[in-house]
Each structure stands twice: as structure tokens, then as C-alpha cells.
A and B are shown apart, each in its own frame.
Chain A
């Protein structure tokens, strides 16, 4: 009997901390676990007893990479509980802020975390020795996204200007002129990025994913929409708890999200693209076509191309909003707290992020539920790894380990956000 154990002690170039254990016997995998050793931080517990106004600031602290996503899902869930919908220019401003986060987060992932895999470097910084022009373009893109978030909301990490109902202060029209100029340049950088990453050498892998993403009738859904699934089913965000169940899996202590009582599914860039690519801006659509992406992309290694296309879209749409921006009369709509339950979901750069709050008579939160993208993807990522590793067990250990790391990184997992992951110990015989 031949034993083979592949162990990656600390997954690198992901946000947060995780590890992977694969055990094989006689050429078959007998155990595969993506191990997350991020310590639990108990957000859902500590939100209880806080005012209905507090989740945007508090849940931002779940993730320093996508705080705006947490703020948007939280605000919309609370507004839904209070029977309020934010529309018009205030909604546009929320979208604009969110596009800023998309640009910076995707640029971070593409240039500093993911591209080094395809070019054979340990880091984006090391890559600069031979590909400086590309890395500088990536940093410029990232900076454009960060500056847009900071312009609208004070700072790129844990923005201070978001509140339930809207904002504390709205930007004057002329204050957005600088942002527009930077975004026009960023859009050029984004187009060049699509061309660059489309030329990478991609492993020939396809998976039969079941995709889940928000869908909106008029736009490539980011801020809001209803839930769509690639098998043709779908449901309103308020029905989320009836469809998505997080459960413990035999042999593993990590919670996995299950959809409609069956297996795992995938959220994130490839899911959005598969379900909504027809709603990308014309420029982003033509960039996708030129990059050779079909209607649906099932090769997770090519997700880097999808992310680059999404940056083009984000720049394009951000510019459209700035061009047509009319200052709203007030920075926020009034939100009168009332007892009840509210659901909210938005598309974090890494995928659908769902929040639910129950509010009591005193306008305090009595129950909070947060389902971040990475915990939804974990089961599916493990399946990717299983399918990838089993036929390649004969590869040298180091090569296989590196391929596994890359396969995890394809999904841009944000392990910090995984509020549900358990701290587990593994038998690494």
C-alpha cells in the first residue's frame, strides 16, 4: 500500500489563514480537507444588543479587504427590516462606492496574489523584477479603486461615511471630477490587464459548477438583486434561509453551505459572469469576447480573466454614474426602526454576501446571521481540489502542492471573512 500525504502548512497569498490536508491510499484520495485556522471572532454573537444603526461599522471589521460589501449587505438588510428602500442618486452613490472596492480588491487579487502563479514568482513584488510595467499598472489600478472609496467615504479600509439609509455626507458634483479623470485612466489599465492575463498559460481544467449569484433586471448585479442559480432556479433574497443551509459535514468540523438540500455550489466572479454576462457594459463585453471567454467560463484558472473583465465593467459603470450624477437633496433617507426581520445580500468581490438581522422593540439587534462567500465556496473548492489531485497523484509532491495552492487561490478565498469556520485539528498521519 502506498501512502502519500500532501501538506501545505500555511496557504499564502490569500487573505486570512488556512491549510490543506490531502491523504491518499493506493492512488485514491481518502481524505481532503481545506483547513482554516483563522481564530473565530464571534461577530454574530457580539452584534446582539447593538443598535440597528451599528452593523455597517461593526461588520466592516469582518474583512479589511471588502468592508464596503459588509456595509452594503448590512445596510440593506436593516433597511428591509424597517421597510425602507434606498433608490435614485443615493443608490447610485452606493454603487459607485462599491465599484471602487471592486476595482481595488480585484486588482489586489490579480496582480499581487494570483498573477505570480502564472508567471512563476513567489509574490507580486518579486514579479516586478521582470514585469515591472504590469505590476505598476496593477498598483495604479488598485490605487484608483482605493482613492474612489476614500473620496466617497474617508478611507479605503473601514470607510466612515456609510450609514443605514445612505451616507453622512454626500459629495458635491465637482468633488467627483478628479475621480472621473483617474477612472478614465484606470479603464485603459483595466483593458490592458484583460489582454495581459488572457495570454497566460492556463491548465486545461473544467469543472461542472453549479453557480449562484445575484441577478438584477437592469444591471450586472453587485449591489442588489434576487438570487439566481445556474440550474434555472432562483429565489428572492428574503427566502435565503429556506434555500441555503450551513451544516456540519461528517468527518469535517468546518461548516459547508448546501443549496436546496443538495451539494455545494460556487459564488464569485465565475458565477456572476455565467449568470449575468449579458448585462456587462458593452466595453467589458467586448473585452471578454476578445479575451476568448465564452458565455460561461468553467475553468477556474481563467477566473483571473473574468476578474479583469469585471474591473473594466466597474470602471465603466463608475464613470457613467459620475457623468450623470445629480446631488441628492439629503445624504440619507430617514429609517424608522421597527421590530422585525430583514434580509440583505450583495456581491462582494469574492461572491454573494448575505446578512439577516432581527430587530426588537427597542431598535436593538437580537439575532444576526452572516453568510460570507468563502464559507459558501469551501465545499466546492474542496471538490475542485479532489478532482485536480486524484488524477495527478503521481506528480512530484512539490509540484502537486503548488498546483493545489493555485487551485485554492483561483477562488480568491477570503478566509478572514469566514466567520463560520471552525478551528480544527487534523490527523496528519
Chain B
């Protein structure tokens, strides 16, 4: 980005597809680490942060956002071609994001609600994860991603090892943090038992149930959780909605919502 740089520095690129910018902003939110990171890697392409996009190839591409337009379906193939490693950051890139709620509806009807001239909208019927379009080397979950996990992933790829990111549920983090279980103690509906750790069990620490923004954990038993949530008084439409937020098309969450929908 302007300054002279030794050829040996790995080249980092940050790409945006359909998203809110929050996950790439997480990189800029590493206020204490940003300048030392910029000394270790060449930030070669990052439109949100720099007016000097450098040409590929790139050693590591971080991809935010889901694929929702015909142009973007092409563009992600280009990104894959010019990237040695491709890592998705966040729920949109990893699971289609909030905009994947169109997958359960008619996208043309969606367009006609928002736009006076929906025929001008070039959009795909589905919002797909990056991995549904091109091979992906690693997927970092979260809506948004966690800053510490992002630094871990970048460091791991730059040093040629696998990132250490847990696949267990939020419940483990919740216990480690010393939170009182909001589900057991307060009867608050919580997706912690089926959601992947990474946020630090934030919601229970703030007295609310987990809403699943990191997507499903490695192993889930949502049938058991649904049973418990029904005992707490949740209706089937409420169950459908709780799974259909930011990771609605991830298979375990989709199954759990469809199970409730089937009963509804």
C-alpha cells in the first residue's frame, strides 16, 4: 500500500460479496495489531481500506459475503484463480448470510416488495456460500467473526499450519466463562447447545439466549433442543424463526427449522 516492500512479504487480499462489511471491518478493528500486521504482510487488495489495489496473485484471500448475482458468481471464480489460499470470513461467506432467507421464499416477490422496477434487479434465486461456488481452504464462522479468531486464522495461514478454531458448542465457552445457564436457570430459549463456540458466549453473559450467529457446532442434537424449547412454551413458528436468521441454510439449522415447520 504505497510504502516500499520486500518481495518476501506474503500478499493479502480482502474481497467483498453480498454482506454488511462487518467482517472485513473486523480486520480494521484490530487497532492494536493493525500496524504490526501491515508490516508482516503486504495488504495488496483491500478496497475498503486502500485506493491502490495491487494485481494478483495473492497468497491469502479473505472473502466476505455471499454470492447473489450472476456477476459475483463469475467474480468468485476469478478470486479463486488468483488466490493461493482462500478463506471465507463470516456467516454470509460461509453460510449464505441473512440474505439467504430468500432461499425459503420467492426472490422475485422479494424484489417486488423492495423495488418499484424489480425487472432491473439482476439477482440470483439463492444466496450461496462461497464453498458452493469454488473450493475453499478454510471457513471462519460468525456474524460477525471474532477478532481473535481472525488473527489466529491469518497467522496460521501465513505460517503454514491449520488454524486452531474450536468446533464445540457455545455451552463449553459459557461454562468456561462462569455464566449462569440462562436456559436451565431462567428458562430463556437459547441456541447455545447447537451453536459453534467463538464469540465467548456473549449473549448468555448479557442475560439473553444465544441466537446462533456462529452457525451450527460440529455435532448438534436439535431434536432434543426443540423438545426443550417447546416445553418452555415456544410455538413452532417461533422455532422456525429462531433457526432462520444468519445461518439459516446451514444443514443442521435448516433441518431443525424444517422439522418445526413440518409440525406447524
Task: Write the residues of chain A forming the contact surface with B, with a CB cutoff of 8 angstroms.
Answer: 10-17, 37-46, 48, 50-51, 54, 57-58, 61-65, 67, 108, 112-113, 116, 121-126, 128-129, 132, 135-136, 139-140, 142-143, 146, 153-158, 160-161, 163, 167-169, 247-248, 253, 255, 331, 405, 416, 419-420, 422-425
Contacts and interface: CB of A to CB of B under 8 A. Distances in A.
Contact of A248 (B34, B43, B117, B144): B117
A375 B113 CA distance: 17
A113 B28 CA distance: 11
Contact of B144 (A123, A146, A158, A167): A158
B202 interface: yes
Given A126-B2, A157-B144, A169-B207, A65 B31 contact: no
B21 A416 contact: yes
B206 A13 contact: no
B2 A39 contact: no
A10 B1 contact: no
30 contacts: A12-B49, A39-B18, A39-B72, A40-B68, A41-B18, A41-B99, A45-B114, A61-B20, A64-B20, A65-B25, A108-B25, A123-B2, A123-B51, A125-B38, A125-B43, A126-B2, A126-B3, A129-B3, A135-B35, A155-B144, A155-B202, A157-B25, A167-B206, A169-B205, A255-B115, A405-B51, A416-B20, A416-B21, A420-B114, A420-B115
B25 to A, nearest CB: 5
B99 to A, nearest CB: 4
A124 B49 contact: yes
Interface of B: 1-3, 16-26, 28-29, 31-32, 34-35, 38, 43, 46-53, 68-69, 71-72, 97-99, 101-102, 105, 107, 109-111, 113-117, 120-123, 143-144, 199, 202-203, 205-208, 211, 213, 238, 241, 245-246
Contacts of A422: 115, 117, 120-121
> Which of A122, A169, A419 has the most chain B CB atoms inside 10 A of its CB?
A122
Contact of A140 (B1, B31, B122, B202): B31
Given A57-B211, A63-B21, A146-B29, A13 B48 contact: yes
Contacts of A124: 49
B103 to A, nearest CB: 11
A183 B136 CA distance: 42
Contacts of A63: 20-22
B201 to A, nearest CB: 10
B243 to A, nearest CB: 13
> Which of A48, A67, A116, A125 has the most chain B CB atoms inside 10 A of its CB?
A125
Given A42-B111, A45-B109, A50-B241, A61 B3 contact: no
